[in-house]
């Protein structure tokens, strides 16, 4: 469990959470300030007072998502492995994140994930027997893309795995699958070297 943000007890936070839910459900253009206010249980004027515009409200949602991601990153770095589960990690913000990725405003979040992941990749490199063929930042970008893809492809992953990923059993199964994939490469070092040799000849 992550430590709750103290700001999450305020009316401003209720508005933000309602906005994330509506944008996640309907997309940014179709979500309305009026519906967000009704869901948050506040007046339209209070939403305007706190955020000014729908664009500014979305930026506050993005900032909150970034803070959540950083807290989860810190937890994963020092705690148990459940912090690595890409679906349970974002929890209620998953649909909002999927909208950010598909509607095109997730660049700062993605870049931050790459930045945070790069030291992990570099640290893993120090115990490798073979030198990496690609720089740590590029590999961190690929890992970030793979992790974030679960938010967009969740329903397809559920169908493929035959389980509800929002359930405790589904999250456990996903985490175990991820641990297995990351700890058991699909290619042997010789097979990977052969594939790189083909690329080098191009």
User: DSSP states of 8-44 as a string?
Assistant: GGSHHHHHHHHHHHHHHHH-TTT--HHHHHHHHTS-H
- Predicted pLDDT of residue 9: 55
- Sequence-distant (6+) residues with CB within 8 A of 28 are 54, 58, 99, 103, 105
Residue 24 has pLDDT above 90, yes or no: yes
Helix axes 11-26, 54-78, angle to 10 degrees: 100
How many distinct structural domains can be found in the chain? 1
Residue 53 has pLDDT above 80, yes or no: yes
- Predicted pLDDT of residue 90: 66
User: Does a structural domain hold residue 13?
Assistant: yes
CATH of the domain at 121: 1.10.357.10
With cut-offs at 50, 70 and 90, classify the pLDDT of residue 194: very high
The structure's pTM equals: 0.80
Where is average pLDDT lowest: 47-61, 69-83, 111-125?
A: 69-83
Q: Average pLDDT, whole number, for the chain?
A: 86
Residue 155, CA distances (Å) to 25, 139, 149 in order: 15, 26, 11
User: Does a structural domain hold residue 1?
Assistant: no
pLDDT, mean of residues 5-24: 82
State whether the Cα torsion 105-110-88-51 is positive or negative.
negative
- pLDDT digit string, tens, across residues 157-175: 999 999 998 888 998 898 8
User: Does a structural domain hold residue 193?
Assistant: yes
Full domain range(s) for residue 105 = 6-200
- pLDDT digit string, tens, across residues 76-122: 776 554 445 556 666 678 889 999 999 999 999 999 999 999 999 99
């Amino acid at each position: 469990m992550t430590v709750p943000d103290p700001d999450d007890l305020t009316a401003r936070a209720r508005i933000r959470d309602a906005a994330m839910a509506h944008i996640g459900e309907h997309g940014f253009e179709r979500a309305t300030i009026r519906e967000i206010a009704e869901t948050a249980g506040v007046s339209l004027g209070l939403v305007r007072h706190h955020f000014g515009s729908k664009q500014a409200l979305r930026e506050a949602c993005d900032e909150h998502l970034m803070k959540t991601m950083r807290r989860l990153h810190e937890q994963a770095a020092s705690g148990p492995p459940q912090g690595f589960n890409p679906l349970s990690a974002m929890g209620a913000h998953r649909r909002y994140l999927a909208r950010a990725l598909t509607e095109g405003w997730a660049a700062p979040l993605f870049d931050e994930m790459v930045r945070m992941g790069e030291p992990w990749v570099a640290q893993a490199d120090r115990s490798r027997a073979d030198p990496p063929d690609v720089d740590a930042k590029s590999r961190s970008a690929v890992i970030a893309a793979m992790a974030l893809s679960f938010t967009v492809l969740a329903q397809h992953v559920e169908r493929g795995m035959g389980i509800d990923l929002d359930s405790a059993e589904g999250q456990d199964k996903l985490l175990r699958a991820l641990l297995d994939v990351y700890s058991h490469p699909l290619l042997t070092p010789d097979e990977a070297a052969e594939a790189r040799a083909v690329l080098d000849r191009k």
